[in-house]
Chain A
Amino acid sequence: MGESETEIELEGEAMETTRQNGQGTAAVPFVRARGLGKTFAGKTVLQGVDLDLMSGEVRGLLGQNGCGKSTLVKILSGYHAPDPGGSLEVHGEEIELPLQGGDSAALGMSFVHQDLGLVDSMTVAETMLMGRYDHRLGWRIPWKYEHRRVREMLESFDISVRTDARIGDLDEVDQARLAILRAIDRLRGVKAGLLVLDEPTAYLPKDGVDQLFAAIREVSARGVAVILVTHRLDEVAAITDRVTVLRDGKLIGTHDTASLSEDQMIEKIVGFSLDKLYPDHHEATGGVAVSVRGLRAATIDDVSFDVREGEILGVTGLLGMGYEEVPYAMFGDAPVEDGMLSFGGVERELSSFSAREAVAAGMALLPADRLANGGAGEATVRENVTLTSLSSYFSGGLLRVGRERNATEAMLDEFDVVPPEPERVFATLSGGNQQKALLGKWFATSPSLLLLHDPTRGIDVGAKKQVFLRIKEAADAGASVVIASPEYEDLAHICDRVIVFRDGRTVAELRGGSLTEERLLEQCYVTENERGTTRAGTSSDSSER
């Protein structure tokens, strides 16, 4: 182990030199791909893409949903066979395409795919060691030794889960960190390799992202090339050396990250200037429309707040601090122990409230997980978006499907859903377009209280802008809006007021001039440090939650 580390060190230095004089000169790229393309059932999703990756380089791969990023990644991993005509060289050697199973690992390539690629029923230890069991004692897997090995791996990454825990019982954050750790571990001792991370930060809290970046810097210093697929441009600026932009399956260009401003990056990604991402600030002038009093639920401990008519209220905090449960608790869809909701002149006991009553009362909820809770994936777009207004198409004993289709088409047009096809299978829309369609579904009911959980999760900048615009429109029309989100920058821009949660309680409320991303971050993290001291004093008071 110690021996190989020194080797890596040396290799890292050597790579550093290549990297400095590398670009464009005689240095051989680690990966050199030419003319990669992919056609599905007559539809070209990737076309003539060239890619040169130098050893030790961190490359951002950018583009809107459906631009071909994931397809490109999956060609490199051997999951998709590229169209004929492409070529691939790794370390200067021609590699036969398509890659066969195991090829990419043998070439020193390691992947974290968007869906993480974990199996729910496997244990942490099995997951981390899949295909790399130690066979010292012949065929028998020495589990005791293996568990210890895994424990060490987990400790090195500050992951505190049991090695015999089932993957399915872990939360998204730990699952994502395990997938990332596994990918990095597979490169252990590899001097020149490739680490591909397809939207790894979608599930990670801020400190997890910092940790990931530290790990990326470590492997790239060793000479491993890294491809990072992400929608978050601040991350791109923070970690990447260069960026490659794809649009509609074509290569738009590769640029030094430092040479592009955020606006320029957005322009390259969407193909036109977005003006600005956030709508003009709006002012809530109405009276109190919604009151929550004494809310207690699984992760919420005695919380009260009001939302005014036309107000956009953000609730945030670090992951797991309780803010995520707020929209569901208000909607009657989380087990609530206690709490009152006044809305529309009616006072309701939240512990006996249901989603059915919530919808009937004029509330709408857009959950974060669009395919698990937001939309029925196999059903058509039309069937999804008219679900809450179906009775209006039922007359004379018949569902008027033609009318339903026309109305859906008009709505898809209005909400810029691409493609605007009512009969398309919902799951085949990109994430951003799914979200826009679901906004359209709920707007058809003219809700007076709109609840959103992480409404921009995994959607591209273009869609993001439109989602913000719609939220503001709803507020301008007098609806009260509650957004539970971990995106501090977005909240700072679109909310009138943001409440910060810690351990299930509200600890800060920011508005007006003090509502900035920095202040939000500060409230989330400063209190985190304070908590360290209070916890030492009052011991198990709230830490068990």
Chain B
Amino acid sequence: MSVKSAEKETVPPTGGAEPPSGLSSVDWPELASRYGLLVVWVAIIGLFAALLPDTFPTTATLQSILGSQAVLLVLTIGMLYSLRAGEFDLSVAGVMSLSLVLVGYLNVLHGWPIGLTVLVALGVGALVGLINAFLVIVVGVESIIATLGMGTLLVGAGVGINNSVTSGISPTLVDAATTSLFGLPMIFYYAVALTLITWYVFSYTPFGRYLYVIGVNRNVGRLSGLPVNRIRTSALIITGVLSALAGVLLAGQLGSSSPNTAPAYLLPAFAGAFLGSTVISPGRFNAIGSFIAVYFLVTGITGLNLLGYTGWVEQVFYGGSLVVAVAFSVVLGRRRLR
């Protein structure tokens, strides 16, 4: 085909104007954003270690950073499924809260076996996901509004079911969550496993690809013959179940349930997901990025706490990180589309 070769020849002028390969082929801004947060993370570790040589670089601090917020990581990872499909699920903390309350209520107050209790809690998570999907897909409510209402409703329902701190959760669950392996509680390993599984699902399965494409452009998914509504429903159900799982694990970690603990997890989880979307695969909600983001946030707060800043600092840091992350991803997106 003569046309083909001729057209190819018309291309080089633009390409040829650039310096030949080498340095120019490395996209520095892209690289900086891909691993930037990792560098910042290492930098603040170094900073805190220098400021707090006695308290920060210690095994106890490391254990506290990695172990104490594994539940937050589970919630964040769970949220990625619906975010990736283009749906905001603000009900995650509500589901987590209700699930936590249910574990105490059923297992302690009503003496249900822990296995059944956990199944019911996860089932409630799935049901909430299904109801969210119904509201969003069938009724056509914006997901951010539907789930905002749903989340608030569920927190209230939890308070209504059992408005007190209930301790005495089954040791089976407590052990499963807190047994120490290499100095770290089991929940840390569950969270890491969930991160890896999610990374696999997003990067190496058709389902993960479909989630992403539908999140970017639902019409394209539909016109390519994908079962778009089924995939969106699955995403919301998975988020619901994993949010409930976060509640179950929190019950195990604390050994008690309370209706006022979980709601505070909503903003950190969003901050983690959005901050995570600026690294590793910039512009996409991704599991490894969220892992880095969550532990970056926890490291920062732990360090600030050790420096004597407590109370207000968490909200400032989480809120600030969310704003910076979202602003950064908007700028990044604009650059990528040019």
Contacts and interface: CB of A to CB of B under 8 A. Distances in A.
Interface of A: 40-45, 47, 247-250, 270-272, 274-275, 331, 333, 355-356, 358-360, 365, 367, 372-379, 383-384, 387-388, 390-391, 394, 397-399, 401, 416, 418-419, 425, 427-428, 462, 465-466
Contact of A379 (B7, B8, B203, B216): B216
B3 A275 contact: yes
A178 B210 CA distance: 38
Nearest to B206: A390
B282 to A, nearest CB: 11
A534 B219 CA distance: 39
B47 interface: no
A179 B176 CA distance: 65
B18 A42 contact: yes
Contacts of B206: 390-391, 394, 399
Contact of B14 (A44, A375, A376, A383): A44
B220 interface: yes
A247 B283 contact: no
Given A45-B14, A356-B225, A374-B223, 17 more contacts: A249-B13, A250-B13, A272-B9, A272-B10, A359-B225, A372-B217, A373-B217, A374-B220, A376-B217, A376-B220, A379-B216, A379-B217, A383-B212, A387-B226, A388-B224, A399-B204, A416-B3
B110 interface: no
B interface SS class: helix
Contacts of B6: 271-272
B45 interface: no
B225 A40 contact: no
B17 interface: yes
A360 B204 CA distance: 23
A387 B3 contact: no
A375 B220 contact: yes
Contacts of B210: 390
Interface residues of B, number: 39
Looking at chain A's contact residues, the main secondary structure is: mixed
B224 A378 contact: no
Given A272-B10, A378-B333, A383 B223 contact: no
Interface string B213-253: 10011011111111100000000000000000000000000
Contacts of B212: 379, 383
14 contacts: A40-B338, A45-B14, A248-B10, A248-B11, A367-B223, A372-B219, A378-B216, A378-B283, A379-B212, A397-B205, A418-B8, A419-B11, A425-B336, A428-B336
Interface in B3-43: 3-4, 6-11, 13-14, 17-18, 24, 29
Given A378-B337, A425-B337, A270 B213 contact: no
A377 to B, nearest CB: 7
A290 to B, nearest CB: 18
Most buried by B among A356, A384, A419: A356
A378 B13 CA distance: 27
Contacts of B224: 355, 359, 387-388
A53 to B, nearest CB: 25
A358 B220 contact: no
Contact of A387 (B204, B213, B219): B213
Contact of B337 (A331, A375, A428): A428
A373 B13 contact: no
Contacts of B283: 378
A372 B219 CA distance: 7
Given A248-B10, A275-B3, A358 B17 contact: no
Nearest to B230: A356
Contacts of B24: 42
B213 A379 contact: yes
A418 B11 CA distance: 8
Nearest to A271: B10
Nearest to A373: B219
A377 B225 contact: no
Nearest 6 pairs of A and B residues by beta carbon: A359-B225, A376-B216, A376-B217, A248-B13, A272-B6, A373-B219
B8 to A, nearest CB: 8
A272 B5 CA distance: 11
B84 to A, nearest CB: 12
A442 B4 CA distance: 21
A416 B66 CA distance: 51
Nearest to A372: B219
Contacts of B18: 42-43
A248 B212 CA distance: 34
A416 B7 CA distance: 8
B263 to A, nearest CB: 32
Contacts of B8: 418
B213 A365 contact: no
Interface string B300-338: 000000000000000000000000000000000101111
A279 to B, nearest CB: 12
Contacts of A359: 224-225
A416 B8 CA distance: 8
A355 B205 contact: no
Contacts of A372: 217, 219
Contacts of B205: 394, 397, 399
B319 to A, nearest CB: 27
A427 B222 contact: no
Contacts of B221: 376, 387
Nearest to B224: A387
Given A42-B24, A376-B217, A388 B225 contact: yes
Contacts of A418: 7-8, 11
A41 B210 CA distance: 32
Nearest to B337: A427
A249 B338 contact: no
Given A247-B10, A427-B337, A376 B213 contact: yes
Interface in B155-211: 203-206, 209-210
Contacts of B3: 272, 274-275, 416, 465-466
Contacts of A416: 3-4, 7
A355 B17 CA distance: 45
Contacts of B11: 248, 418-419
A399 B208 CA distance: 10
A466 B7 CA distance: 11
Contacts of A270: 7, 10
Nearest to B338: A40
